[in-house]
Structure 1
Amino acid sequence: MGFHKSSMDIELKNGHLLTAYCRRPSGEATYSELNLDDFLGAKKGHFAWSADGFSDHASDVNLKLEGPTHEPMLHAQLEDEEGGQRMDVVNLADCIKNENGRLRFMDCF
Structure 2
Amino acid sequence: MGFHKSSMDIELKNGHVLTAYCRRPTGEATYSELNLDDFLGTKRGRFAWSAEDFSAHASDVFLELEGPTHEPMLHAALDDDEGGQHMDVVNLADCIKNENGRLRYMDCF
The verdict on a shared fold, with TM-score over 0.5 as the criterion, is yes
User: Which AA in structure 2 matches 1:75?
Assistant: H
Residue number in structure 1 paired with 2:41: 41
Residue number in structure 1 paired with 2:2: 2
Which blocks of at least 5 consecutive residues in structure 1 are unaligned? none
Q: Which consecutive aligned stretches of 4+ in structure 1 deviate over 3 angstroms post-superposition?
A: none
Count of matched residue pairs: 109
RMSD value over aligned CA atoms?
0.2
User: Is residue 2:107 matched to residue 1:87?
Assistant: no
Displacement of 1:91 in angstroms is: 0.1
Give the fraction of aligned pairs with identical amino acids, expressed as a percent.
86
Distance across 2 between alignment mates of 1:79 and 1:107: 24
User: Is residue 2:81 matched to residue 1:75?
Assistant: no
Residue number in structure 1 paired with 2:31: 31
Distance across 1 between alignment mates of 2:44 and 2:79: 7
SS of 2:56 mapped into structure 1? helix
Displacement of 1:29 in angstroms is: 0.1
User: Which AA in structure 1 matches 2:90?
Assistant: V
Which blocks of at least 5 consecutive residues in structure 2 are unaligned? none
Structure 1 length normalisation: TM-score? 1.00
**1:58-96 per-position Cα deviation (integer Å, ceiling 9, x unaligned):** 000000000000000000000011010000000000000
